[in-house]
Amino acid sequence: MKPAPLAPQMAIALPVLGAASILIAWQYLLPLLGVPAYIVPAPTAIFGVFQKNFALLIDNLRPTLIEALAGFVIGNLAAVLLAVVFVHSRILQAAYFPIVLFFNTIPILALSPIIILIFGLGMTPKIVIAAVICFFPTLVNMIRGLDSASDNEHELFRVLSATRSEIFWTLRLPRALPMLFSSLRIASATAVIGAIVGEWIGSDKGLGALIIQATFNYQSDRLYAAIVLSSSLSIALFCIVVLIERRVIRY
Amino acid sequence: MPNAIEAQKLDVGYGGRQKVVKVLSGLDLTVAAGSFLSILGPSGCGKSTLLRVVADLLDPLDGTISVLGATPHAVRSRRDVGFVFQDSTLLPWRTVRDNVRLPLGVGQRSLTRKIDDRSSELLELMGLGGLGERLPHQLSGGQRQRVAIARALLGEPRLLLMDEPFGALDEITRDRLNDELLTLWRRTGTTILFVTHSIAEAAYLGERVIVLAANPGRVVKDLDLRPFKQEGNRCKREDAAIVGAMAELRAALERAS
């Protein structure tokens, strides 16, 4: 038998308690076990960086945010448009989709130097990397979503003599939205990864650059603060996507 | 007035030019305008295929078919045909009212006559008044099927094709919708072709029942029920004559399977 669901208060309290227990163990147990602070700084030390170096963190958050957002928008938009082309032309899809799949198997870390060679050291290559990393999951999901209307739904529109564009706007696009949003949720995290990976390879600004600098300078509290900020950025983007999804998809 | 359907030596199949699987073979069928025809048969006998040929969703391989005195394509372009599927095929992101109004939003370019927005009237008629702003997932299976019927009726079709519309419903709901459908049919004078698996439903609804056999599909029994029913295709489910007709249909169906 399935266990009974938790009371709503417990459903909130338990994760908070779980996180608190790990933070307390991290703060007090790790030093006792002899883990040095330059490898794992205490949570209070990481929090201290947010107070001491707030301006530095924000200065480095800004470029990463812009790159991730621009990459997210461009990569997903390109994927949606290409998916629309592919589902309307089986010939183009048959000719080019396998090549697209092949490109998808190239690790983004291997592709990034090439992108930086092409686009130089500014923000552009980071945006491109973030866009590329968002592109493939959305393309695949969007194609599947646009093809997900049932035979009966297509027959219904045929009985009504609907045109191809009416079928697209009234049936196929709304049908595709749930799958589009599930890939946008994934892309909200991967866009940040793409921007940071780009900054690792060639940049002196951004959270990725901050992570590299802090690592080489043994400023582990700053390194951990940059990591916390990166993950907060992903979570914020994810929440925005979920909020929009809830407004758009009501069923 | 022309017959609603006149089909001669109709061959229908799937599978392209080389390996054709014949679903209907040499089917002759005439359906009078305004009548209620039940189509009964085992799975795979081509009941749904027949409806799809009438609705211009499928072209016959051979033979001729005229619908309301014209080609199936002309009839579809005039929006003279309504189709109700077994699953209600409502768009889950549209409200009940917007689902009923779907025929107003699409296919207008090829439409050769004007269709009015009768959604409010139809929602009332189908007992859905007050549910217009709900989403389909908030309705019961019976209510969803009522919405699908209201949508099919929006263009005031002269021919209503129903493909096991109540097959997924519980028996009480199904019986109630049977009665509502008969009332609707008497009021509108629409010709109805009603495909079903249920012998009882076919006999209760139809003025006439045909039984199709499979491999390939053909008419093996054609039973006129009007002599067993009262004025306006009225009967009780437990009438001796209807029960007798059901036994006759069952025997034909067993031979056909």
Residue with tokens 């006998």: B45
Chain B neighbors of A250, CB-CB under 8 A? 93, 135
Nearest to A155 among B57, B81, B93 (CB): B57
Disruptive mutation site among A154, A157, A161 for chain B (greatest number of B CBs within 10 Å): A161
In this complex, is the C-beta atom of A24 within 8 Å of any C-beta atom belonging to chain B? no
Give per-residue pLDDT as tens, A86-145.
999 999 999 999 998 898 889 888 888 899 899 988 899 999 999 999 999 999 999 999
Q: Would you write out chain B's pLDDT as a tens digit for each of its 257 residues?
A: 789 999 999 999 887 666 678 889 899 999 999 999 999 998 888 999 999 999 999 999 999 999 999 999 999 988 899 999 999 999 999 999 999 999 998 887 766 677 778 899 999 989 899 999 999 999 999 999 999 999 999 988 999 999 999 998 999 999 999 999 999 999 999 999 999 999 999 999 999 999 999 888 889 999 999 988 888 888 888 888 899 999 999 999 998 88
Distance CA(A100)–CA(A102), nearest Å, equals: 5
Nearest to B93 among A158, A166, A174 (CB): A174
All structural domains of chain B, each given as residue ranges with its CATH number in brackets, are 5-80+157-256 (3.40.50.300)
Chain B neighbors of A249, CB-CB under 8 A? 93
Disruptive mutation site among A155, A157, A160, A165 for chain B (greatest number of B CBs within 10 Å): A160
Give per-residue pLDDT as tens, A214-248.
999 999 999 999 999 999 999 999 999 999 999 99
- Cα A16 to Cα A29, A121, A235: the distances in Å are 19, 42, 17
Distance CA(B81)–CA(B192), nearest Å, equals: 10
Domain boundaries, chain A: 82-251
The pair of structure tokens assigned to B31 is: 């359906």
Q: What is the pLDDT of residue B110?
A: 66
What is the ipTM score, two decimals?
Answer: 0.91
Give per-residue pLDDT as tens, A144-181.
999 999 999 999 999 999 999 999 999 999 999 999 99
**Overall residue count recorded for chain B in this entry:** 257
Residue A155 and residue B52: Cβ atoms within 8 Å? yes
Name the 3-class secondary structure at A161: coil
Interface of B with A (CB under 8 A): 52, 55-57, 76-77, 79, 81-83, 85, 87, 89, 91-93, 102-103, 105-107, 109-111, 135-137
Q: List alpha helices for chain A, DSSP H.
A: 8-24, 30-32, 43-52, 54-88, 90-104, 108-119, 124-146, 151-159, 164-167, 173-201, 207-216, 220-248
Class in CATH terms, A82-251: mainly alpha
Q: Are A79 and A139 within 8 A, CB to CB?
A: yes
Instruction: Provide the 10 A C-beta neighbour count for residue B187.
Output: 9
Q: Are B101 and B117 within 8 A, CB to CB?
A: yes
Residue B106 and residue A155: Cβ atoms within 8 Å? no
Q: Are strands B36-40 and B208-213 parallel, antiparallel or unpaired?
A: parallel
Q: What is the pLDDT of residue B17?
A: 65
